Amino acid sequence: MPKKPEDAIRPEIRALNGYTVPHSDGMVKLDAMENPYVLPAELRARLGRLVEQAALNRYPDLPAAALKGDLKRVLQVPDGMELVLGNGSDELIQMVCMAAGGQGGVLSVEPTFVMFRMIATFAGTRYVGVDLRDDFSLDIERTLAAIERERPGVVIITYPNNPTGNLFDAGLVERIVEAAPGIVLLDEAYHAFASDSFMSRLPRHPNLLVMRTLSKLGLAGIRLGVLAGHAAVIQELGKVRLPYNINTLTQVVAREMLQHINVLTEQAGTIKLERSRLLEALRGIPGVTAYPSDANFILFRTSQAERVFDGLKQRGVLIRSLHGSHRLLADCLRVTVGTPDENAAFLSALKQTLAA
């Protein structure tokens, strides 16, 4: 019997700082890569009627074949490829780490999405991070050497990468896919804002999985992640999926929204236009270095990033500070592209903070 109940928790779990979400009530919220636009009233009313009719006394549809069919069509999943769905793509990352991490563990390039390391730890598997180059491009020699040395069960590459916003060179990603002894999970969470995807290349690579989420497209609240891959791998991953992980409300809303996907892709188009304006505005501010982005956020560097982050917060604008999270991110901040008004509020608060 442990002395205290919490002593029973695995040491590597006790050593973690859990994923926390800062208080944001009443603030201009530009910290979480959400789509800032709400749905048209008519569409919301239609969703309301569908939810009203949903059979909530029954377990959700399993295997959610209708939803998967709609997703394959809308996401242009190549013929013959299969899907497994997750309660957000976070859950899919967990499924892949649990099922395939094994002895070799999980390898990713850094800086990247912090949950990869955390989820590998939850899954009780090893995690190895390989640094990107100073310009956030892939260090291919170092990455291939690490793959050869560590023989990871899973390599995770984010395309485009969070928090740096860039798309890696596709040819280099292909070399990693070819060299990896196990699965390569290509996380395309920001696909809606990106100029390239590996989805159409999926049939050529039996060890590749392409992951998408509806979160950044405007449906973060329904929690739906999609993993596409070859049937043999998807079938195995399906074994670690908890039964009924995609609830009925998510299925109903997702199916309807996939019929109206143009509403969301048009919003994504507006966000991309705003991204160009925001990037240009940031680049015009002395002392700010803003990096190019294929996602719905922009990474920028400025001296005294912590002070700038706090100054923005005091002025009612919440972004994300990455200072201290990785050697390559010293003095870096990340801002989500919001509505024109939100972006203007951010830029004005930033200028005031820098002048203070």
Position 11, amino acid: P
Distance of CA 40 to the CA centre of its chain: 25
Question: Which lies closer to ligand PMP via its Cβ, residue 197 or residue 215?
Answer: 215
Cα–Cα distance for residue pair 204/226, rounded to 1 Å: 19
Site map 79..98 versus ligand PMP, x via CB under 6 A? ---------xxx--------
- When asked if residue 166 is in the footprint of ligand PMP (CB under 6 A), the reply is no
CA 8 to CA 14: how far, in whole Å?
Answer: 10
| Cβ-based neighbours of 105, under 8 Å, separated by 6 or more | 120, 125, 126, 127, 128, 150, 152, 153, 154
* Residue number of the CB atom closest to ligand PMP: 88
36, 225, 311, 338: which one binds ligand PMP (CB under 6 A): 225
Residue 162 found at the interface with ligand PMP (CB under 6 A):
yes
Report the amino acid identity of residue 307.
R
> In the bound complex, what is the minimum distance in angstroms from residue 216's beta carbon to ligand PMP?
7
What minimum distance in Å lies between the beta carbon of 152 and ligand PMP? 18
In the bound complex, what is the minimum distance in angstroms from residue 28's beta carbon to ligand PMP?
19
Nearer to ligand PMP, 36 or 225 (CB): 225
Residue 19 phi/psi, 5-degree rounding, is -70, 120
Please give the sequence-ordered ranges of beta strands (E in DSSP) within 161-279, or none if there are none: 183-187, 208-213, 225-229
Contacts of ligand PMP in 197-216 (CB under 6 A): 213, 215
Computed on alpha carbons and rounded to an integer, the radius of gyration of the chain in Å comes to: 21
**Exactly one of 64, 113, 147, 350 binds ligand PMP (CB under 6 A); which one?**
113
Q: Please, which residue, 33 or 312, has the CB nearer to ligand PMP? A: 33
Residue that has been written with the tokens 């803003």 in this structure: 290
**By the 8 A CB rule, do 161 and 155 touch?**
no
Does 187 participate in binding ligand PMP (rule CB under 6 A)? yes
Provide the binding-site residues for ligand PMP, judged by CB under 6 A: 33, 88-90, 113, 158, 162, 187, 189, 213, 215, 220, 225
